[in-house]
Amino acid sequence: MSTRGENISKAKKGKLKTKLAALRTGKIRSEKLKKIYALKRALIGNSRKSKRICGQCSKEFYVFPSRKTSFCSKKCRVLARTGKPHVNWNPKSMSKSGRGICGIFENITFRSTYELSFIIKNLIENKKIVYEPVQIKFSQYLSQDELIKFKIRQNQKYVPDFLIDNLYLVEIKIKKLLNYDINIAKQLVGLRFCKESNLIFKILTEDDLLTFSDEQLNCFARRYKEKLVFYRKKDKKRFYGS
């Protein structure tokens, strides 16, 4: 009689497939185990959560009562508001989008390499930079019909990226996102807010900004290690190896 270890090794080689070996290697899961896990989720995992129906896909999901969401996922939420699937769920569309790193440089936050290059350019020119200077309610500058058209919530706010020299209100966005409903609404709100506040509204894309190669980013991160702080562990590991 073969041992458990022999069964598993033989199953990997395709010579013998026992139920135990297949379970151990994650190839199958018995119906009994599936029922046990489903019962455990029903009795324990969701005991403190309330059952809801997703407003987009009509799928049942469980959330804590304190949460006010009506969608089972971010994908459904964005699809319901914009009418289009968000590019984040297509890996090819996110390649070279400029959203690779997040952190702080010279006490100014950035959430993409394009924002970082914009900060560097303005620091070189000795300009005053304020990150996310103001929160603007969409409902103050859009009509009710426009709110419905662009699928904007009543209390939703728009936060521009930068204020430069108390004169330019700047939004940085990659070109392939400009035609999304939410970004069209942001542009309208930004223009109307700036007209009221005697500011100049600008939208900058990758065509207006410098781009970094991987070698340039690595060199920059090493040179300004004391002034550059990364939020995410994967960014620290990428540039500093720890």
Total H helices, total E strands in the chain: 10, 11
Contacts of 221 (CB under 8 A, 6+ apart): 228, 239, 240
pLDDT band at 89, cuts 50/70/90?
Answer: very low
pLDDT at 102: 85
Q: Please name which of 117, 196, 195 lies closest in space to residue 162, comparing C-alpha atoms.
A: 117
Tell me which of 2-6, 25-29, 168-172 is least confident: 2-6
| Cβ contact 178:101 at 8 Å | no
* Pairwise pLDDT comparison (204 vs 67), residue with the higher score: 204
The residue with greater pLDDT, 121 or 29, is: 121
What pLDDT score does 79 carry? 79
Comparison of pLDDT for 212 and 20, the residue scoring more: 212
CATH fold for domain 103-223: Trna Endonuclease; Chain: A, domain 1 (3.40.1350)
Strands 200-204 and 168-172: parallel
Question: How large a percentage of the chain has pLDDT more than 90?
Answer: 30
Lowest mean pLDDT among 46-50, 59-63, 218-222: 46-50
The kind and range of the H/E element at 62 are: strand 60-63
For residues 2 and 54, which has the higher predicted lDDT (pLDDT)? 54
Model confidence band, residue 199 (pLDDT cutoffs 50, 70, 90):
very high
Interval 101-119: pLDDT, tens: 888 998 898 988 899 989 9
**What distance in Å separates the CA atoms of residue 115 and residue 204, rounded to the nearest whole number?**
10
Task: State residue 226's pLDDT score.
Answer: 85
**For tokens 């969401």, what's the residue?**
69
CB atoms within 10 A of CB 73: 14
| Residue 205, pLDDT above cutoff 70 | yes
Is this structure's pTM higher than 0.75?
no
Cα separation, 239 vs 225, whole angstroms: 10
**CA–CA gap between residue 23 and residue 3 (Å, rounded):** 15
Q: Which long-range contacts (CB under 8 A, 24 or more apart) does 124-130 make?
A: 127/164, 127/165, 128/164, 128/165, 128/166, 129/162, 129/163, 129/164, 130/162, 130/163, 130/164
Q: How many residues does the chain have?
A: 242
Lowest mean pLDDT segment, chosen from 17-26, 58-67, 88-97, 114-123: 88-97
Q: Is the per-residue pLDDT at 22 higher than 50?
A: yes
pLDDT in tens, 139-185: 999 999 999 999 888 888 999 999 999 999 999 998 888 988 899 99
Q: Are 80 and 69 in contact (CB under 8 A)?
A: no
Q: Where are the domains of the chain?
A: 4-36, 50-89, 103-223
By CB atoms closer than 10 A (0-12, 13-18, 19+), residue 157 is: middle
How far is the C-alpha of 213 from the C-alpha of 215, rounded, in Å? 5
What's the pLDDT at 197?
Answer: 93
